[in-house]
Amino acid sequence: MPAERLPLAKPRSGEAGRTAAAIKDAARHVIMRDATALRAVVNGETAGTFEVGVKVRSQVTAGALRALAVTTRLRDPGLPEVPTMVELGFPGILTGSWSALFAPAGAPAPVIRLLNERLTAVTRSTEFCSRLEALGAQAQAGSPEDLAAWVAEERRRWTGLARQFAAVLN
């Protein structure tokens, strides 16, 4: 399909409302997969894709891709002109990519404390934070209890969404 027929393939002038409308209109043309999706967007074969920011940051800054919105609570400091999905009127599209260190359930508490102390020291170091920020990511340190509470909340949220939309595994 030629790029001129795709509502999101070319930059649009206008306000966030028009971008939100374009996202809604083009949702049926958006694919969410692997690197094939990125190639299809760059080649004008599809309107867009949802990707992890650190994966596409360089392509956005180089002009090969146009970021329409971020799915995080706050705008990306490296792409301050790109609105959040919440700003565009999609409060339910709120997610991000994350990593965490997990240990076996029976791991001794002193070992867990030591791992947490060391990991916290690394994630708070200037060098580590600078490297992540260059990629468009941020480090967030916390306790094992903080992580457990966050994972439980995310599980409840995503389970609720899956039930709401009658999602099934296939």
pLDDT per residue as tens digits for the range 20-74: 666 555 554 555 556 777 788 888 887 788 888 878 888 888 888 899 999 888 8
How many CA atoms lie less than 13 Å away from 60 in the CB half-sphere?
22
pLDDT per residue as tens digits for the range 52-61: 887 888 888 8
Residue 73 CA to residue 107 CA, distance in Å, equals: 33
Q: How confident is the model at residue 1 (pLDDT cuts 50, 70, 90)?
A: very low
Residue 133 has pLDDT above 90, yes or no: no
| Angle at CA of residue 151, ends 129 and 143, nearest 5° | 55
Q: What does the DSSP assignment read for 77-104?
A: TTSTTSPBTTTTT-TT------------
Residue 156 CA to residue 37 CA, distance in Å, equals: 29
Q: How confident is the model at residue 127 (pLDDT cuts 50, 70, 90)?
A: very high
